[in-house]
Chain A
Amino acid sequence: MRKIFDFHGGIHPPENKHQSLQRPIRDAGIPPRLVLPLSQHIGAPASPVVAVGERVLKGQLIAEALGFVSVPVHAPTSGTIVAIEDRLVAHPSGLLAPCIVIATDGLDEWTSLVAPPDYRDMTTRELLARIRDAGIAGMGGAGFPTAVKLTTKPGSAVATLIINGTECEPYITADDILMRECPDRIVEGVNILRQLLQPGEILIGVEDNKPEAIAALRAAATGSAIEVVSFPTKYPSGGEKQLIELLTGEQVPSGGLPLDVGVICQNIGSVVAIADAVVRGQPLISRITTVTGEAVAEPGNFSVLLGTPMNYLLAQAGYQPGRNRRLVMGGPMMGFTVPDASVPIVKTTNCLLAPSEAELPVPPPAQACIRCGMCAQACPASLLPQQLFWFAQAREFDKLEQHNLFDCIECGACSWACPSNIPLVQYYRASKAEILQLRREHAKAEQSRMRFEARQARIAQEEAAREAKRAARKLAAEQRAQTAAAGGEGVEDPIQAAIDRAKAKKAAQQVVATRATTETGERDKLEKAVVTTRARLDTASSKLEQARAEGSDLVDALQLGVDKTRAKLEAAELALQAFVDAGQTAPQQAVPTDAASVAIARAVAARAADAALDPVEKARAQLAGLEQRLAKTRARLAASRSKGEEEKIIGILVSTEAALEEKVSAARAQLNGKGDT
């Protein structure tokens, strides 16, 4: 006899299972419309592969899996697709979700099923693909894709395969009835899983409140390696982690998976679906659902097509809507109230509970926590529910995580145990969802931050590249200039000198030009003033003459005006004279550069004049110049002698006179020669 361990906490709510076990499994039949939500599992919703108006056959693929954690959807019976639209689904939010609606034709015509090969000849990959393609998701309530759960990492050995036939939640008997009626299919499914996982041992865990099921399974499993284990009834021993602890004594680490302790769990319903898929090639299109509660006259279990509206199924069980205030999908502990009775049955609908008002009353108003600690005693995950409650109320999410909120399996034992009727699980569910959302947002913020920083880096890089290009261009230009300058200095000094000369000349010309313009401007102004004043004086004088002749009264006034104008004219003439004098003296006083520039200008003008003259004229001009200079020198010499100046100056003047006489005679001779030719 296997040793049975125990897990912490747990409660013993009234079981209420006998009501639905009075009748064998009934077929719910084919409703006129089937509504198949694309998301009946955890993970990405399936994607439709059929069009509105298309006829589909039973078992035909109508929506394919999208991604790894996803499962496809198949048509549960033959009919026509009438809509692919958002419909109300069995979800606590009461929101719409995309669904495929099939108008059934009642023929229940199967699509051509591919005869599957013997599963013993199939590889792990082929088996997993078949399970996945059959659309199997965990049938116990969560709906996690079974193929994903069965995919083990290479190298990780499965020590124990546990088939979960516990069904600890009150009212639900779907697995119980399946174990009683179809133990052979269960054993068949377990054999497939053994082929797939090669586990060290295989256990089917069943609570001791299901003696018929245990007997049937033991009978079916005789001779095989399957061990059917029964253990005392306690809620929630059907929780995956609790069941593992019960049967193996090992705890799944916080945040870990059962595989971390070498265990894989499968639900009874999933095992049967695996057998149907692998042995018979049938996809998951129907399931066993318990319909129970005091508001149904004939509670029991039904084999129901997926997508069947709940009210159609309830009608088969003798539903009395007047007695039922709310309809619950799942059990009284973990189930939720469905928004409307028309929502469809999905892969995870193990129970429809239609309780009367007295059977499942509205929870009384929550009162203050009295810190009695009963929730902590009841918690199967050894958490501190009242601490979590305080933190959830205060939205202290980091504290919640520190207190292992995510180990909570939301079994509801704490709420059930709470004497103050505090809906503790609701707080935990809400907080978990909020923390997950915050994590998602944080992950997205992190992503945005990285993208923003990458963009900043890219922009900086582009800017740097542009800057580098600009700097390179500048450097190249400088280098060109430098090589040019170096070449000039080293090889052709005269060129540089010529440039400098030219520059100096240009500057000098500019100075002269500006001087000239300013001087002429000033002079023009003064002259103009003189002219206009004279003109004014003339008119004034003529007017005065006229006035005198006429004997006008204005004579005195005009006389005054004429006098004033005359004075002005005199002043203007004086100014002009002064300016002219200053202009004559200015060149002598001017700074050497100015004198030089004047000289240059004169030279330039003389050269230009030279160029214009023909050689004879030129020579004659030269001669005239020389004669003039000679005359000047002689006059100067005579003046010096008469004044009695220094010997030295007289000597220089005498030698200059001699040189000039020589030049004059040479020029005269040249001119005569030129004139002859």
Chain B
Amino acid sequence: MAALLALVGLGAVFGAVLGFAAVRFRTEGNPIAEQINDILPQTQCGQCGYPGCRPYAEAIASGDAAINKCPPGGEAGIQALAALLDVEAIPLDEEHGEEKVKAVAYIREAECIGCTKCIQACPVDAILGAAKQMHTVIASECTGCDLCLEPCPVDCIDMISEPQSVQNWHWPLPDTASRQPQIIATDAGQTQDRAA
């Protein structure tokens, strides 16, 4: 009898603790979708077929979408998603586009007619302008999603990739291929070939 009471008592206490914790420490939203969204590049380009990065993140979280539909995220993004979700990394789905060098939109201002179509298309409000006024892109806010190119009636928008400068250059990883040890004399030529 005492044992029964003890067990029931323990059950009641732990049940109460769990119930309290479930209410007190409830997580808002889907934490997995949140983490996936954190990895996605937030270009909001829609190349994955979803209307923005968050819907794609939610689709991945619910298992509706594969992790290889994000060209701006590229291979690195797929690797990160694979590591997060503990699935195998798969190559980028060519159907949704290919990984490109990051670029920003640039409006050839002399040709702009001020139609505001690109402003409506920009998912991050990075284009400044008004009707019948020349528009311009806030380069630091542009995600390079290409969404403004299509609606422009006069094709005055270019995508320009940032040129390499002393400011954005960084040391590359050592080139291991060209520094292969040539221990055996007959291997020497082959190593050179492989490096070339």
Residues A426 and B165 in contact in the complex (CB < 8 Å), given A448-B124, A449-B37: no
Instruction: Kindly list chain A residues whose C-beta atoms are within 8 Å of the C-beta of B143.
Output: 444, 448
Interchain CB contact under 8 A, B124 and A430: no
Task: List which B91-112 residues lie within 8 A (CB) of chain A.
Answer: none
**Contact code string A441-474 (vs B, CB < 8 Å = 1, else 0):** 1001111110110111000000000000000000
**Does B37 lie within 8 Å of A91, measured CB to CB?**
no
How many chain B residues touch A (CB < 8 A): the figure is: 29
In the complex, whether A433 has a CB less than 8 A from a CB of chain B is yes
Interface contact A423-B53, CB-CB below 8 Å: no
Q: Indicate if B125 sits at the interface (CB-CB under 8 A).
A: yes
The reply on B30 being an interface residue by CB < 8 A is no
Mask for B164-192, Cβ within 8 A of A = 1, else 0?
11110111111010011110000000000
Name B44's contact: one of A92, A367, A448 (CB within 8 Å). Answer: A448
Question: Which of B40, B124, B176 is in CB contact (< 8 Å) with A451?
Answer: B124
Q: Which residue of A lies closest to B172 (CB)?
A: A430
Contact of A455 among B37, B41, B43, B124 (CB under 8 A): B124
Closest to A447 in B: B141
What residues of chain B lie closer than 8 Å to A367, measured between beta carbons? 181
- A434 CB contact (under 8 Å) in B40, B170, B179, B182: B170
In chain B, positions 150-172 with a C-beta closer than 8 Å to chain A are 164-167, 169-172
Q: Is the CB of B174 within 8 A of A427?
A: yes
B141–A39 contact, CB under 8 A? no
Known: A452-B124, A455-B124. A365 touches B141 (CB 8 A): no
Q: B123 on the interface (CB 8 Å rule)? A: yes
- Tell whether A437 is near chain B: CB-to-CB under 8 Å: yes
Q: Are A429 and B42 in contact (CB under 8 A)?
A: no
Interface residues of A, dominant DSSP: helix
Per the bound structure, the CA–CA distance linking A451 and B143 in Å amounts to 11
Write out the residue numbers on chain B whose beta carbons fall within 8 Å of the beta carbon of A95. Answer: 164-166, 169
A148 contacts B by Cβ under 8 Å: no
A539, B42: Cα distance in complex, Å? 91
**B169 A93 Cβ-Cβ under 8 A:** yes
Contact B164 A449 (CB under 8 A): no
B114 at the interface (CB under 8 A from A): no
Q: Say yes or no: A455 contacts B125, CB within 8 Å.
A: yes
Interface centre among B166, B170, B173 (most CB of A within 10 A): B166
A-B contact count (CB 8 A): 78
Minimum C-beta distance from A137 to chain B (A)? 15
CB distance from A65 to the nearest CB of B (A): 16
Least CB distance, A315 to chain B, in whole angstroms? 26
B5 → A minimal CB distance (Å): 49
The smallest C-beta distance from B65 to any residue of chain A, in angstroms, reads 18
- Given A452-B124, A455-B125, are A426 and B53 neighbors across the interface (CB < 8 Å)? no
* Closest CB in chain A relative to B18 CB, distance in Å: 32
* CB–CB A448/B166 < 8 A: no
Whether the Cβ atoms of B167 and A452 lie closer than 8 Å is: no
Q: Is B126 an interface residue (CB 8 A)?
A: yes
In the complex, the answer to whether A365 meets B172 with C-beta atoms within 8 Å is: no
Contact call A366/B165, Cβ cutoff below 8 A? no
Say whether B174 contacts A449, CB under 8 Å.
no
Which residue of the partner chain A has the closest CB to B164? A95
Does A89 sit at the interface, judged by CB under 8 A?
yes
- CB–CB A97/B165 < 8 A: yes
Q: Are B42 and A445 in contact (CB under 8 A)?
A: yes
Residue interface mask A347-373, B partner, CB < 8 A = 1? 000000000000000000111000000
A433 / chain B contacts, CB cutoff of 8 Å: 170-171
- Rounded to whole Å, the gap between the CB of B185 and the closest CB of chain A is 14
Bound-complex Cα distance A429 to B41 (A): 24
Task: Please determine whether A427 and B179 come into contact, CB atoms closer than 8 angstroms.
Answer: no
CB within 8 Å of B: which A386-440 residues: 392-393, 423, 426-427, 429-431, 433-434, 436-437
Residues in A neighbouring B172, C-beta threshold 8 A: 430
With known contacts A365-B180, A448-B143, A452-B124, A97–B166 Cβ distance under 8 A: yes
Q: What's the Cα separation between A446 and B44 when bound, in Å?
A: 12
Q: Which of B42, B167, B171 lies in contact with A448, CB distance below 8 A?
A: B42
Name the B residues within 8 Å of A393 (CB-CB): 173
CA–CA, A242 to B179, complex, Å? 33
B196 smallest CB distance to A (angstroms)? 16
Contact with A along B65-109 (1 / 0, CB 8 A): 000000000000000000000000000000000000000000000
Which partner residue on chain B sits nearest A445 by CB separation?
A: B42
Interchain CB contact under 8 A, A451 and B171:
no
Q: Which residues of A contact B123 (CB under 8 A)?
A: 452, 455
- Are the CB atoms of B182 and A365 closer together than 8 Å? yes
A81 to B141, CA, bound (A): 36
Q: Mark A41-57, 1 if CB is under 8 A from B, else 0.
A: 00001000000000000
A451 touches B166 (CB 8 A): no
B166 touches A91 (CB 8 A): yes
Alpha-carbon distance between A214 and B179 when the two chains are bound, in angstroms: 44
Chain B 43-78 interface 0/1 with A at a Cβ cutoff of 8 Å (1 = within): 110000000110000000000000000000000000
Find chain B residues with CB under 8 A from A444 CB: 143
Q: In the complex, A456 Cα to B179 Cα: how many Å?
A: 52
Q: In the complex, A283 Cα to B95 Cα: how many Å?
A: 60
User: A427 — which chain B residues lie within 8 A by C-beta?
Assistant: 173-174
Residues in A with CB closer than 8 Å to B52 are 452, 456
State which of B42, B43, B166 has its C-beta within 8 Å of the C-beta of A446: B42
Contacts of B42 in A (CB 8 A): 445-446, 448-449, 452
Residue in contact with B174 in the complex, picked from A426, A451, A456, CB distance below 8 Å? A426
List residues 120-146 of chain B with CB under 8 A from any CB of chain A: 123-126, 141, 143
Given contacts A426-B174, A427-B174, contact A448 B43 (CB under 8 A): yes
B124: chain A residues at CB < 8 Å are 448, 451-452, 455
CA distance A454 to B166 in the complex (A): 34
Q: Measured between alpha carbons, how far is A423 from B175 in the docked complex, in Å?
A: 10
Q: Are A366 and B171 in contact, with the CB atoms below 8 A?
A: no
Listed by A's residue number, 10 A-B pairs whose Cβ atoms lie within 8 Å are A95-B164, A95-B165, A365-B180, A365-B182, A366-B179, A451-B124, A452-B42, A454-B125, A455-B123, A456-B52
Complex A-B, nearest 4 residue pairs according to Cβ-Cβ distance, in ascending order: A433-B170, A445-B42, A93-B169, A429-B171
Task: Taking A89-B166, A448-B141 as given, write out 4 further A-B residue pairs in contact, using a Cβ cutoff of 8 Å, ordered by the A residue number.
Answer: A92-B171, A430-B172, A448-B42, A451-B124
